[in-house]
Structure 1
């Protein structure tokens, strides 16, 4: 019996225990821990360099008040990258293909940036709802549009991450199925399909890293508007 292509996005359960819990806790075990030695090994040095470069690139445009978010957003990006890449391994499950999980990341962080803006600078935050120089007849319409665009931001964050990963996984499964079916019928065409599958897998690894970066980058831009 041929299973549905969307069965790969179902959260697996083993002995009544959702394995998504294991998938969410596993990434933290894979990262090497810092040591008390004066000199680190190559892996720790590379990891530290990557984290420092990312933090500098994201938080350099922000004011000092926004630098308090450095640990949170850097940890979130590393977490998302690990989840996305581990989900490309065979017989694994990608938790970030679940919209509910992505929304659980996006909504609280977006709401925190809005609350910070309303608490620290309410006038400037509310001024974003009405651009300067707006004609009087258009004021009610623009306020409604800007309010909708404000509340749609967390949904855009969650849906963007979910859609990109889901589309990539589906395309990989479609091409892999085509290569398996064509192997006994047309070996040459099947070989070309397998090469295409390998290239697509490399592209999907890049997409997994880029989408995690974009997720955190957009959160930093929302934070920049409210500090």
Structure 2
């Protein structure tokens, strides 16, 4: 048993070499690549239908200028979804529990949307800082508040993903430890706790999928404001 419940969130190393890069690259190996044949197998066909359906749903609120981001947003969604799901397997590591990694995703995407807005429509981009019809005495205060809100967005993106996954993993380990401790002495209570653990695991699978979708959805909403 681990001496510290937070040891599971430490980046794995071997001979002093961080293995987080392998944990990030490995999910791409699991996806089958389409072939040049007229008909692909069922798995590739199902994968393509899922990608197409999700891309249509993601780009629905975006105008024509935002459709250029379809490939990168879809790739980000698949990447986050794969890492989150694989991190639920035993003896694995979830890179998205690291705030530094999530901020490394959140800040460039947020900054890209801001730069696009300032380049293509600077008046509309700056107009978000001051709602129309604001009383004159409130203008300086609202500009400061909206500016702070703008710069908090990438922090909220990264912290939301990190906190949700970290909390779920920590709860699973806490309840699993309780099951192993109660099993020799209180079997009935241990079985009830095991049932809770199974239900929590199903919930964590849903959270892993939802958080990946929410991350990409928020990026697309930020993009919609600036295209």
Please name the residue that 1:169 is paired with.
169
Question: Within 5 A, what are the aligned runs for 1:13-32?
Answer: 13-32=13-32
194-203 vs 72-81, which deviates more? 194-203
Question: Within 5 A, what are the aligned runs for 1:158-197?
Answer: 158-197=158-197
Runs of 4+ in 1 over 2 A off after TM superposition: none
Deviation at 1:199, TM superposition (A): 1.2
Please name the residue that 1:126 is paired with.
126
Which deviations, in whole Å up to 9, do the C-alpha atoms of 1:13-58 show, x marking residues without a partner? Answer: 0122211011011011111101111112111111111111110001
Q: Write the distance in 2 (CA, Å) between the matches of 1:6 and 1:158.
A: 19
Question: Within 5 A, what are the aligned runs for 1:33-72?
Answer: 33-72=33-72
Which deviations, in whole Å up to 9, do the C-alpha atoms of 1:110-146 show, x marking residues without a partner? Answer: 0000000000000000000000000000000000000
Deviation at 1:107, TM superposition (A): 0.2
Please name the residue that 2:4 is paired with.
4
Deviation at 1:82, TM superposition (A): 0.5
User: How many aligned residue pairs are there?
Assistant: 227
Please name the residue that 1:145 is paired with.
145
Deviation at 1:2, TM superposition (A): 4.9
Please name the residue that 1:97 is paired with.
97
Q: Write the distance in 2 (CA, Å) between the matches of 1:78 and 1:2.
A: 31
188-197 vs 94-103, which deviates more? 188-197
1:32 alignment partner, SS class: coil
Q: Write the distance in 1 (CA, Å) between the matches of 2:35 and 2:191.
A: 47
Deviation at 1:196, TM superposition (A): 1.2
Cα RMSD, aligned residues only: 0.9
Deviation at 1:154, TM superposition (A): 0.3
Deviation at 1:61, TM superposition (A): 1.7
Q: Write the distance in 2 (CA, Å) between the matches of 1:35 and 1:200.
A: 39
Question: Within 5 A, what are the aligned runs for 1:199-214?
Answer: 199-214=199-214
113-122 vs 196-205, which deviates more? 196-205
Q: Write the distance in 2 (CA, Å) between the matches of 1:78 and 1:65.
A: 22
Deviation at 1:164, TM superposition (A): 0.1
Query: What's the TM-score once normalised by structure 1's chain length?
Result: 0.98
Which deviations, in whole Å up to 9, do the C-alpha atoms of 1:73-95 show, x marking residues without a partner? Answer: 10000000000011111111100
